[in-house]
């Protein structure tokens, strides 16, 4: 008999942004564990419908157990009240959705405020429900790594400096996580945040996740992105999904948790991929000698591991699973 979990009182949990990479994987794992799952997707009238509004959600509805235990709601982060029907009656909420600036034309402050407004609206709905016992917010290692303090290793005490490093995604994740934590403390809401590094592995969603595309850049020959991987922290998507569920149910979980299992330099990744995939044209160390980019600090998962969580996957599985997903879609 498994240990009593937050979802066990009535077995209902919500995953926001269900068509996304991490969220869809979490839905699959939650269904496998017997949860009744709700998820939200953007309405079809969403102005970014070319990317998401008119999508086929069959990859979710066809998951084992979905016909009985998955219910899909429409909700829009620009209208936080729209999440209330999906949240009402849930005991656990995974807030994974993040508003994306598909065009890259929105000013940073617009992107940040959209993220904060949507997240705080969801947290208010969780309080209003009187049934939600814990919220897990998916932040990012981008909210940790860019503190500018010169440390080689970052832990949960580290916060990115949004004035020193100008990037709208990093600013949105950092300021939204800070705002969410402050709101939760002021209102007595049980909130845990997760800070994943670059998430790699197989994907259920039809489009290639940006993090997987980033990790695969040397296999794909995307020279312009090599610098992003000067020194990269990575984690398998299944480990991320498991960490979220683990933290939902851990009785002593509190605060922030970095989730990152491996770090590799661009040169080390080149050596690794060249041996593993000899049929691909992987750039050599000599090819990479002039690649610039920011060498990010290492990430410590000590806090998560000390709770009893264990990573199941390493670089081998991350890339084997990602390559398989690419091949299944005819992309390699």
Q: Look at the block and give the residue holding tokens 């937050």.
A: 6
- CB–CB of 43/7 below 8 Å? no
Angle (CA) 226-227-232 rounded to 5° is 90
* CB-count exposure of residue 300 (10 Å: 0-12, 13-18, 19+): middle
What torsion, rounded to 10 degrees, do the Cα atoms 259, 265, 271, 274 define? 60
- Residue 128 designated active-site: no
- Residues 240 and 25: their CA atoms lie apart, in Å, by 9
Catalytic residue among 128, 151, 173, 254: 173
Residues pairing with 116 in the sheet: none
- Residues 219 and 274: their CA atoms lie apart, in Å, by 9
Helix 315-328 to helix 266-276 angle (10° resolution) is 60
In this structure, the chain runs to a length of 332
- CB–CB of 299/154 below 8 Å? yes
Classify residue 82 as left (phi > 0), alpha (psi -120 to 50) or beta: alpha
Active site residues: 173
């Amino acid at each position: 008999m498994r240990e009593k979990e937050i979802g066990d009182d009535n077995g209902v949990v919500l995953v926001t942004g269900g068509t996304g990479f991490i969220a869809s994987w979490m839905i699959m794992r939650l269904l496998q564990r017997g949860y009744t799952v709700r998820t939200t997707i953007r309405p079809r009238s969403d102005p970014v419908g070319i990317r998401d509004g008119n999508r086929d959600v069959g990859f979710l509805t066809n998951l084992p157990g979905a016909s009985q235990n998955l219910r899909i709601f429409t909700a829009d982060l620009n209208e936080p009240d729209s999440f209330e029907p999906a949240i009402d009656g849930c005991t656990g909420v995974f807030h994974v959705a993040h508003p994306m600036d598909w065009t890259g034309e929105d000013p940073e402050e617009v992107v940040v405020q959209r993220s904060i407004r949507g997240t705080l609206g969801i947290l208010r709905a969780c309080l209003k429900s009187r049934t939600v016992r814990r919220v897990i917010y998916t932040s990012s290692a981008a909210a940790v790594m860019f503190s500018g303090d010169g440390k080689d290793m970052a832990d949960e005490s580290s916060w990115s400096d949004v004035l020193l490093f100008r990037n709208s995604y990093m600013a949105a994740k950092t300021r939204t996580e800070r705002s969410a934590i402050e709101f939760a403390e002021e209102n007595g809401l049980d909130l845990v945040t997760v800070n994943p590094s670059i998430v790699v592995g197989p994907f259920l969603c039809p489009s290639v996740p940006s993090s997987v595309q980033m990790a695969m850049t040397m296999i794909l020959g995307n020279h312009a992105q090599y610098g992003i991987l000067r020194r990269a922290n990575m984690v398998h998507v299944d480990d991320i999904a498991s960490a979220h569920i683990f933290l939902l149910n851990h009785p002593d979980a509190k605060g922030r948790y970095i989730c990152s299992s491996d770090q590799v330099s661009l040169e080390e990744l080149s050596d690794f991929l060249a041996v593993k995939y000899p049929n691909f044209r992987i750039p050599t160390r000599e090819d990479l000698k002039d690649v610039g980019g920011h060498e990010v600090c290492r990430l410590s998962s000590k806090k998560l591991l000390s709770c009893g969580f264990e990573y199941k996957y390493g670089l081998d599985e991350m890339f084997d699973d990602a390559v398989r997903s690419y091949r299944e879609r005819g992309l390699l």
